[in-house]
């Protein structure tokens, strides 16, 4: 289990990526970017269904990308990203 400081650091990093527009939102988009090996991190909501989590984990392992479980549920993650919908999966890119 990640320490509190590590979680806070990851959330700060995620916030800057969302503000900079370097975040990919949604399962389908994240999977597409993972298959192209263009993501550097994937964040998953705490209440993400096991099947989606399994798919993300599989492709992330192939692309050698870390998957981080957040302590936010999909509703909170949607609000965090300033979206009007729930967000279960989010990927970050480097540009």
Residue 37 belongs to a domain: yes
Residue 14 belongs to a domain: yes
Residue 3 belongs to a domain: no
- 43 touches 14 (CB < 8 A): yes
Q: What pLDDT was estimated at residue 95? A: 65
Q: What pLDDT was estimated at residue 2? A: 55
- 43 touches 68 (CB < 8 A): yes
Residue 1 belongs to a domain: no
Residue 69 belongs to a domain: yes
Total number of domains constituting the chain: 1
What's the CA gap between 4 and 37, in Å, rounded?
Answer: 29
| The model's pTM | 0.86
Query: Residue 52 is part of a domain; what is its CATH number?
Result: 3.30.1330.30
Residue numbers of the domain that contains 12: 8-92
Residue 45 belongs to a domain: yes
pLDDT in tens, the chain (95 residues): 456 677 778 888 888 888 888 999 999 999 999 999 999 999 999 899 999 999 999 999 999 999 988 888 888 888 888 888 999 999 999 76
CA 86: distance to chain centroid? 13
């Amino acid at each position: 289990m990640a320490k509190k400081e590590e979680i806070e650091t990851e959330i700060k990093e995620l916030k800057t990526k969302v503000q900079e527009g370097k975040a990919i939102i949604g399962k389908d988009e994240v999977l597409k970017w993972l298959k192209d090996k263009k993501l550097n991190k994937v964040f998953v909501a705490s209440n993400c269904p096991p099947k989606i989590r399994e798919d993300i984990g599989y492709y992330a392992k192939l692309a050698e990308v870390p998957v981080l479980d957040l302590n936010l549920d999909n509703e909170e993650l949607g609000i965090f990203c300033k979206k009007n919908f729930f967000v279960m999966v989010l990927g970050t890119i480097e540009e």
